[in-house]
Structure 1
């Protein structure tokens, strides 16, 4: 197979390949960029594999960065673009199921490609657009199949995260995991305990945002991988399957909505939800977002009256809560909540017509905890409609609170 018209991303990188090949070495575009080009998807990072050793690459180019020199990777900087260029290599020994004990540089493309994870990622392309396909990756692309290169158990022992990556690619692309590869995932699922939670988080997040997230979550349950991730108790297979079934024909819009949906489907209480997200190494800001949205969902489930103050507190993350509620309740609309939020006198504290400096300047209050208390009461009164957001009204209210010692 030969690509007649290369996308601009590859055209921009052609001088890199030409410089390497003119020096007597082999060089190819490899991996995800080739796969995505063939699928008609957006191309992101253009990676290069070469028979040249790192020292030889560095001698050919004026600007390089040693991004992974021990594994043969050098970043070539060219006209504002960076191209990761990696020497063909073989790897031996994977005692931690994450990284090779030793890396050996080789001059043979076939040796390099056969260590890659899946056939659709083991494609290479020459500068003239000719595709090098040693493992029938083109056939698997056409048939929408995720298949490990060679023996899947060997591939998963090299890097156990590849099991999650199989599920993630399946969910993102809408592909089916080939039977032998799928059986190997089930057999070796326990190896996932060797992988850092941050890496698993990335794959699960991408899975949940895939166009086939429903099938991805069901695969996550049926593979047994869910048993070896943080804070998902044994025996939760049916909860995860149910989460997948509810998503059939639907997609999740963003990562915060995805994780809010997951904790909701697992039926966690609010305290456990916070611990769950922390165990998955999410940032504090992300955890705050999800917990705020989840609190609103819990209020709705408990049929608690949603007041203006509750809407104000959920604020900008309201769309997350509404998206999850729509997935749970087919008749739920939620537009009235968005309208009510937009109709609030203020939607955040910065919109108040008064601040601490003005309170101090007028002599109503001195800096300290009391000032914060008064501002909090002003904020609440404005939000619930008890007080107009006018400076004169707010000053008068603050003076009244101070005089009463409230």
Structure 2
């Protein structure tokens, strides 16, 4: 047993000292057995929320109606959740009520996949009533109990299953796959924001090609925002190896392949954050530009380093080119630039108005762009005096004179 389990052990010890059961559960145990990095741990206990609060001096009621109390210990927060069972689910997403119980096995029984229904005690011993370790060994995602029931309880579990295919490089157990296909239509009951979160995690995984194939085979593709209108996208995903692409690069590829005339609307349908929509819309512009012409120093500068890397990565792939060392090559280009963003110029619009004794207007934007290009092309150094001497000799009506 290692961190972060070691730091959390005192929580379990204190619960056990009061004659309660307590275990590490869920994703942290799964990732520990897979030798993956672990961000935080979850603890399940036979103690009720009120009993947990009576043991620890500092707690926060983060989800007390569902049995979860955040215990603050040594400056860190640990979610401690009471063993529970769940009644009828509503909207194929949330249980109507929960019932606190004293049985670990019954608590694990309500979980989604066998690999997430494993517990570990304070001594590092594994409690695995549903054979989750075997599923891990077989690199297989399978439901706890009846797969149809698990997905009808919470339809988002179908997206979680396929997200784990990508993240863990696992496959779907046959009955689980059949149940996803049979219940795919239930995904329409799930908030788009939650679907977007799962797709984002899926696109961050290393087995994206396989996961996207499962989205299609299990018919979930038809219930994803916009994609039901773009069945033709899948053959393109199958054509290319996209596992090496970053999450933003996959979204950019998806946006490009959609051939949409309204990229902002396409991305908004996913309830994507505004900042990300702006980023991807700008990246799409430069991808179309890249397909028509080679990069210049100025177009790299306009795009920014991050967008240049994303655009070139997608461009190289759709052109069936090797795409080797893209990040390194573009990083070297940016390192060679005298400036990398407008804020680094040693001149402002106020300087121009003073030098030319003219009021503000559209000419300032044009003049600043001329200066940017001149600095990037190393026609003038990025020093206020040098810029002043250069711009005063220019004909602002004819950029070619500079």
State the shift of 1:255 in Å.
Answer: 2.5
Distance, in Å, in 2 between the alignment partners of 1:356 and 1:42 is 50
2:197 to 202, 207, 211: 202
Aligned to 1:315: 304
Aligned to 1:61: 56
Relative distance call for 1:213 and 1:359 in structure 2 (3 A) is: same
- SS of the residue corresponding to residue 67 of structure 1 reads strand
State the shift of 1:181 in Å.
Answer: 0.6
> Which shows bigger deviation, 189-198 or 161-170?
189-198
Structure 1 gap segments, 5+ residues each? 1-5
- SS of the residue corresponding to residue 228 of structure 2 reads coil
2:172 to 171, 174, 177: 177
Structure 1 position 246 matched with structure 2 position 220:
no
Cα-to-partner distance string for 1:80-132 (whole Å, 9 max, x where unaligned)? 22110011111112221111111111112122111100000000111122211
Distance, in Å, in 2 between the alignment partners of 1:332 and 1:349 is 33
Superposed CA RMSD in Å reads: 2.6
> Which shows bigger deviation, 388-397 or 284-293?
388-397
Relative distance call for 1:43 and 1:337 in structure 2 (3 A) is: closer
State the shift of 1:162 in Å.
Answer: 0.5
Structure 1 position 260 matched with structure 2 position 249:
no
The answer to whether the 8 A contact 1:20-1:26 is kept is yes
State the shift of 1:11 in Å.
Answer: 1.6
The answer to whether the 8 A contact 1:221-1:241 is kept is no
1:272 to 253, 262, 266: 262
Distance, in Å, in 2 between the alignment partners of 1:61 and 1:124 is 22
Aligned to 2:26: 31
Aligned to 2:348: 355
1:16 to 11, 22, 25: 11
- SS of the residue corresponding to residue 321 of structure 2 reads coil
TM superposition score normalised by structure 1: 0.89
Matches within 5 A, 1:58-207: 58-207=53-202
Aligned to 1:42: 37
Distance, in Å, in 1 between the alignment partners of 2:329 and 2:121 is 56
> Which shows bigger deviation, 272-281 or 206-215?
272-281
- SS of the residue corresponding to residue 8 of structure 1 reads coil
The answer to whether the 8 A contact 2:230-2:258 is kept is no
Relative distance call for 1:11 and 1:337 in structure 2 (3 A) is: closer
Structure 2 gap segments, 5+ residues each? none
Cα-to-partner distance string for 1:368-405 (whole Å, 9 max, x where unaligned)? 66544543443344445665534234334555679869
Distance, in Å, in 1 between the alignment partners of 2:58 and 2:333 is 56
- SS of the residue corresponding to residue 94 of structure 2 reads coil
Distance, in Å, in 2 between the alignment partners of 1:332 and 1:341 is 21
Aligned to 1:290: 280
Aligned pair count reads 395
> Which shows bigger deviation, 370-379 or 332-341?
332-341
The answer to whether the 8 A contact 2:93-2:153 is kept is yes
Distance, in Å, in 1 between the alignment partners of 2:341 and 2:230 is 42
TM superposition score normalised by structure 2: 0.90
State the shift of 1:204 in Å.
Answer: 1.1
Relative distance call for 1:402 and 1:285 in structure 2 (3 A) is: farther
The answer to whether the 8 A contact 1:208-1:216 is kept is no
Structure 1 position 304 matched with structure 2 position 293:
yes
Distance, in Å, in 1 between the alignment partners of 2:15 and 2:395 is 76
> Which shows bigger deviation, 116-125 or 372-381?
372-381
Aligned to 1:3: none
Distance, in Å, in 2 between the alignment partners of 1:403 and 1:247 is 49
The answer to whether the 8 A contact 2:367-2:396 is kept is no
> Which shows bigger deviation, 122-131 or 389-398?
389-398
Distance, in Å, in 2 between the alignment partners of 1:339 and 1:11 is 43
